[in-house]
Amino acid sequence: MLLLDGKKISLEIKKELKKEVDELYIKTGKRPGLAVLIVGENKASKIYVNAKVKACEEVGINSFHYEFPDNISEIELLAALDLLNEKEEINGILVQLPLPKNINEENIINRINPKKDVDCFTPENLGRMFLNEEKAIKSCTPSGILELLRRNKVVFLGKKVVILGRSNIVGKPLAIMMINEGATVTVCNSKTKDLQDICKTADILIVAIGKERFIKKEMIKKDAIIVDVGINRVEGKIYGDVDFQDVLSKVSLITPVPGGVGPMTIAMLLKNSVELFKNM
Ligand code: NAP
DSSP secondary structure letters along 14-57: HHHHHHHHHHHHHHHS---EEEEEEES--HHHHHHHHHHHHHHH
Residue ranges for the chain with pLDDT beneath 50: none
Q: Is 129 domain-assigned? A: no
Q: Measure Cα distances from 262 to 48, 80, 145, 185, 208 in Å.
A: 9, 28, 9, 23, 12
Question: Which residue from 2, 1, 9 is spatially nearest to 145, judged by alpha carbons?
Answer: 9
Residues 13, 16: Cα–Cα separation, whole Å:
5
Q: Is 36 domain-assigned? A: yes
Residues contacting 71, CB < 8 A, separation 6+? 102
Does any ligand 1 atom lie closer than 6 A to the CB of residue 211?
A: yes
**Domain identity same for 145 and 252:** yes
Does any ligand 1 atom lie closer than 6 A to the CB of residue 196?
A: no
Provide the residue range defining the domain that includes 187. Answer: 140-261
CA of 209 to the centre of ligand 1 (A): 3
Q: Is 171 domain-assigned? A: yes
Among residues 98, 113, 128, the one where a domain terminates is 113
Q: Which atom of ligand 1 is nearest to the CA of 44?
A: 34
CA of 205 to the centre of ligand 1 (A): 14
Does any ligand 1 atom lie closer than 6 A to the CB of residue 238?
A: no
Residues 143, 162: Cα–Cα separation, whole Å:
16
**Domain identity same for 257 and 144:** yes
CATH code, domain with 52: 3.40.50.10860
**Domain identity same for 106 and 147:** no
Q: Is 276 domain-assigned? A: no
Q: What is the pLDDT of residue 48?
A: 87
Q: How many CA atoms lie within 13 A of 112 on its CB side?
A: 27
The residue contributing the CA closest to ligand 1 atom 25 is 167
Q: What is the pLDDT of residue 46?
A: 85
CA of 210 to the centre of ligand 1 (A): 5
pLDDT digits (tens, 9 = 90+) for 33-73: 999 999 998 888 888 889 999 999 999 999 999 999 999 99
**Domain identity same for 95 and 180:** no
**Domain identity same for 106 and 175:** no
Vertex 69: Cα angle to 63 and 75 (nearest 5): 90
**Domain identity same for 170 and 222:** yes
Inter-residue contact 107 to 81 (CB < 8 Å): no
The residue contributing the CA closest to ligand 1 atom 18 is 190
CATH code, domain with 189: 3.40.50.720
- 106 by Cβ neighbours in 10 Å (0-12 / 13-18 / 19+) ranks as exposed
**Domain identity same for 102 and 37:** yes
Does any ligand 1 atom lie closer than 6 A to the CB of residue 262?
A: yes
**Domain identity same for 187 and 150:** yes
Q: What is the DSSP letter of 98?
A: P
Q: Would you name the residues annotated as active-site residues? A: 52, 96, 119
pLDDT digits (tens, 9 = 90+) for 207-223: 999 999 999 999 999 99
**Domain identity same for 96 and 175:** no
The residue contributing the CA closest to ligand 1 atom 30 is 230
**Domain identity same for 256 and 146:** yes
Does any ligand 1 atom lie closer than 6 A to the CB of residue 71?
A: no
**Domain identity same for 150 and 256:** yes
Residues 78, 58: Cα–Cα separation, whole Å:
30
Q: What is the pLDDT of residue 150?
A: 98
Q: Is 163 domain-assigned? A: yes
**Domain identity same for 255 and 155:** yes
Q: Is 203 domain-assigned? A: yes
* Number of folded domains that form the chain: 2
Residues 229, 208: Cα–Cα separation, whole Å:
5
Q: Which atom of ligand 1 is nearest to the CA of 189?
A: 21
CA of 56 to the centre of ligand 1 (A): 26
Q: Is 239 domain-assigned? A: yes
Q: Is 125 domain-assigned? A: no
Q: What is the pLDDT of residue 42?
A: 83
What predicted TM-score, i.e. pTM, was given to this entire model? 0.97
Residues 44, 62: Cα–Cα separation, whole Å:
23
CA of 86 to the centre of ligand 1 (A): 34
Q: What is the pLDDT of residue 262?
A: 97
Q: What is the pLDDT of residue 136?
A: 96
Residues 190, 135: Cα–Cα separation, whole Å:
34
Residues contacting 47, CB < 8 A, separation 6+? none
